[in-house]
Amino acid sequence: AELKQRLCAMNRRYAVLALVCALVCGRIMQFIFAEGDFGVSDAAIWGIAPHEFEDKVVWITGASSGIGEALVAEFCARGAVVVLSARNETALKKAQKHC
């Protein structure tokens, strides 16, 4: 009986974990299919106010390309003070131009 209770508790935990993973994956897919573009309407979907990051410091690692570069542009557009870091200095300088 005790083993059965433990298994039921574990199954509930895994079910919750699976649900959270599905929600996160859904948001990631939404971001990908939007081609990394957070418009004003997208910000409302994600629960991000247009100037929520104003005067906040955001450190982005891997900022020279991909999602990191898109985040640089987005946080700069939202008024954040952005600290960039990456391995490729040339590409990092290109990403810095978004600010």
Tokens standing for residue 16: 């919750």
Q: Above pLDDT 90, what percent of the chain?
A: 2
CB atoms within 10 A of CB 70: 19
pLDDT digits (tens, 9 = 90+) for 37-85: 555 445 555 566 667 778 888 889 888 888 888 888 888 888 888 899 8
Q: Is the pTM of this model over 0.75?
A: no
Is the pLDDT at 30 greater than 70? The verdict is: no
Please list the residues that pair with 60 across neighbouring strands. Answer: 84
| Whole-angstrom Cα Rg for the chain | 19
8 A C-beta contact, residue 91 and residue 65: yes
C-alpha to C-alpha distance for 83 and 31, rounded to whole angstroms:
22
